[in-house]
Structure 1
Amino acid sequence: MSQSVMYPGSPSKPSRPIIEVKPHSTLDDVYGIIVGVLFVVIGIVLLHAAGLLTGGVAGIALLTSYSTGVSVGTLFMMINVPFFLFGYFFMGARFTIKSLAGSAMIMGLLKVMPFVLVIDRVHPAVAALGGGTFCGMGILALARHGAGVGGTGIVTLWLQKQYNINAGRTQIMIDSVILALALLLVAPHLVAWSALSAVAMSGMVMAWHRAGRYFGS
């Protein structure tokens, strides 16, 4: 619902419409978080099938998995622990509980995926663009419903909330460090494709997670 108001002394010149903002219901949040989780998991599966990385905690988990053999899901949750503590103290209990729930679902689905979704062949370009975009969409959906995937995403969301520093730009800088470290373990051409996936992921957040662009809460 919206209505127009007039500038003082200028009855013929309407101001910007006043928009009635309705916060998300609990059901909205549950559905939005589930959708976000599915996007992130499918993105990670695509990237893993091509031997690629991405940014954020998912990228760290993938990189560590390649070098240790530990499952991505287990590493994803372990790496997240200190970031969840940060989220609790600086973003609040509600945000942290939602993020924990989302990350637990991601971990669970990543453990199930090898039994229900097996990708035998995918070109690195498709994996990079598709996987990165899926992960970005998932992160965006979670952020819209007051949650994060954990890890560096919590820090970037806090920086945007606290200092209005665009989360996507911060994520790109963090991802650059992760991908530079990946050169020690992953072939350079795969790191190059991984960089494309990180740009696709951060680009989604940079383009769409901006103050004033979205009116839900």
Structure 2
Amino acid sequence: MPQPSNPIRHRPYEDSLAILLGTLLVALGLAFYNQAKLVTGSMAGLALLIQYATGLSFGPVFAAINLPFCVFAWRHMGWSRLARTLVALALLWGFTWMTARVVHFDHLDRVYAAVTGGVLMGVGLLVLFRHQTGLGGTNILAMHLQDRHGFRAGYVLLSIDAAILLGACFILPVGQVALSMVGVAVLNVIIALNHRPGRYLGTA
């Protein structure tokens, strides 16, 4: 489907609200996974694994492992997208910290957590992607490959996530890894079906 010659651009307030909403949804999905001791893909999944293995806080670990990808974004995607990514990372850190203190579960079924957490994170990432924003890490790489080479972001993320889930087998019980795979599949199917070049005509 060809792009129109003058696509409608997002207004600054629309981008701001989208980044707030997207990071809030991802933070809530991560709260489900953290409570159920599940792991997702991308750098968030790697940060969760490090947290489970070492007891370190999610936020600082997530920020540290994203630094190399932020350098990549600066070199290949420009200051505008890097600035949005840094804002989104800071908001996710803040929302994750806040959610851990205001949301508590007396009981959370792991199957429900895997599916619902995957949906929340998938929709949150979709919102961010449609406003030319990512959460660092593999999301930056996925958007770069889609924009420049036509690879669908969802399938790129799915391939990388498979490697992260393989590593989870050495830290989490097999049943929890299997449920994590279900959640990752849900997340990536949402992105793959809804984030295709030419389908969404709003631009940042």
TM-score using structure 1 length: 0.90
1:88 equivalent to 2:84? Answer no
Q: Residue 138 of structure 2 aligns with which residue? A: 152
1:194 equivalent to 2:180? Answer yes
1:103 equivalent to 2:83? Answer no
Query: Would you tell me which structure has more helix in proportion to its own residues?
Result: 2
Point out where structure 1 has 5 or more consecutive residues left out of the alignment: 1-15
Identify which of 106, 113, 118 aligns with 1:120.
106
Moved more, 47-56 or 113-122: 113-122
CA distance in 2, matches of 1:46, 1:151: 21
**Higher RCO (CA 8 Å, separation ≥ 6 residues):** 2
CA distance in 1, matches of 2:35, 2:154: 25
Identity across the alignment (%): 33
RMSD of Structure 2 on Structure 1 (CA): 1.4
Query: Would you tell me which structure has more strand in proportion to its own residues?
Result: 1
Q: Residue 130 of structure 1 aligns with which residue? A: 116
Q: Residue 157 of structure 2 aligns with which residue? A: 171
CA contact (8 A) 1:169 1:206 kept: yes
CA distance in 1, matches of 2:155, 2:106: 34
- How far off is 1:115 after superposition? 1.6
What secondary structure does 1:92 align onto?
Answer: helix
CA distance in 1, matches of 2:181, 2:32: 15
Letter in 1 for 2:187: M
Q: 1:20 to 1:39 in 2, by over 3 A?
A: same
Equivalent pairs, count: 201
Identify which of 61, 65, 71 aligns with 1:79.
65
Point out where structure 2 has 5 or more consecutive residues left out of the alignment: none
- How far off is 1:194 after superposition? 0.3
Letter in 1 for 2:150: N
- How far off is 1:20 after superposition? 6.2
Identify which of 160, 182, 187 aligns with 2:168.
182
CA distance in 1, matches of 2:184, 2:57: 21
